[in-house]
Amino acid sequence: MNMETAVRTVFSKYATFSGRAGRAEYWYFYLFVCILMVSTFLFVHLILNDHVFLLSAVALSLVIPHLAVSVRRLHDINKSGWLFLLILIPFAPFLLIYWFCCEGTLGANRFGEQSL
């Protein structure tokens, strides 16, 4: 999977919290979000002279797809999507990063078939 395919897949499943997302899909989308946020930040502060509305709108538009792909990534390693709430506990996000880096379950698991 390349970056373009991953971003298209995530946006086609904009608010789909069921199913699975592989490592490539998650990390390519995360890279896309980082690039988009940095470029929007630079555009807002260098050209528009601090119109944070645009930056906030871009960030808010990416919350739901990022949450959905994170839940599907946890499903890929056969963990409940509710574990994403660990992000609210100090130092627990490191555990989430570790899980997001782990290889997914081979074949089918309780959340469905393995994603491509």
The reported pTM is 0.89
Q: Helix 23-42 crosses helix 63-76 at what angle (to 10 degrees)?
A: 160
Provide the percentage of residues in the chain whose pLDDT is more than 90: 72
Instruction: With H, G, I as helix, E, B as strand and everything else as coil, classify residue 109.
Output: strand
Q: Pick 44 or 68 by higher pLDDT.
A: 68
Q: What is the pLDDT of residue 116?
A: 65
Mean predicted confidence (pLDDT) in 86-103: 94
Q: What is the pLDDT of residue 65?
A: 96
Mean predicted confidence (pLDDT) in 53-71: 92
The 10 Å CB-count burial string (b at 16+, else e) for 28-63 is: bbbebbeeeeeebeeebeeeeeeeeeebeebbeebe
CA 18 to chain centre: 14
In this prediction, residue 16 has a pLDDT band, given cuts at 50, 70 and 90, of: very high
Radius of gyration (C-alpha) of the chain in whole angstroms: 15
In this prediction, residue 34 has a pLDDT band, given cuts at 50, 70 and 90, of: very high
Q: What is the pLDDT of residue 32?
A: 96
Q: Give the model confidence (pLDDT) of 95-109 as tens digits.
A: 999 999 999 989 888
